[in-house]
Amino acid sequence: MIAIVDYGMGNLASVQKALTYLKAPSVITSDIELIKCADALILPGVGAFIPAMKALNKSGLGEAVKEFAASGKPVMGICLGMQLLLDSSEEGGETTDGLGLIAGKVVKFPADETVDEGLKVPQMGWNSLVDVKSKYLRESDYVYFVHSYYCDAADVNDVAAYAEYGIKYPCSLQKNNIFATQFHPEKSGEAGLQILKRFVDSI
């Protein structure tokens, strides 16, 4: 069973729908005891970092995610869920602590680079992966993004893939049993389903 963490800010139904299509049993839950018993965990997310961390801290789900990750069982973060795994975020003009499971910080796309190339922030749409280093991903993957901030990983060895949008930035991270994507695999057609399938098959 895969636990999809419900902390009030996520694309929960679409993630579960994709897992159901793949015949992977899952449950959307905020029950900490149920999460502990799961075989794998997905931390999705849509929205802003600060209210997301407040919700995780208030509910105790933040500690539950960290304990689950420490157990060695598979963890996947999606979009905001990936950003929450890092040490901190600059979103909202202040530094906010994250879960600290992957070293790095969440920063905004640099305006000069994106504006000079006629790119709008947020990045909203399809983009390619480059420099792929994860068994879950393929160089040919063309996937869907919606975000204004990106993960500046402290250790290049934790970067599973990059994308280019004014700058070349980490769009997927992987450290031990933790895998995360800035893009939405559940909204990325067949390529996204295959990414989720590889994650499911590894459980």
- What residues are labeled active site? 79, 184, 186
User: Do residues 202 and 137 make contact, with C-beta atoms less than 8 angstroms apart?
Assistant: no
DSSP 165-178: ESEEEEEEEEETTE
Bridge partners (DSSP) listed for residue 184: 144
Angle at Cα 48 formed by Cα 45 and Cα 52, nearest 5°? 65
Count of other CB atoms within 10 angstroms of residue 192: 20
User: Do residues 84 and 52 make contact, with C-beta atoms less than 8 angstroms apart?
Assistant: yes
The region, left, alpha or beta by phi > 0 then psi within -120 to 50, assigned to residue 3 is beta
Beta strands in the chain (DSSP E): 2-5, 26-29, 40-43, 75-78, 86-89, 96-97, 102-108, 123-128, 142-147, 149-153, 159-165, 167-175, 178-181
State whether residue 200 is helix, strand or coil.
helix
User: Do residues 160 and 110 make contact, with C-beta atoms less than 8 angstroms apart?
Assistant: no
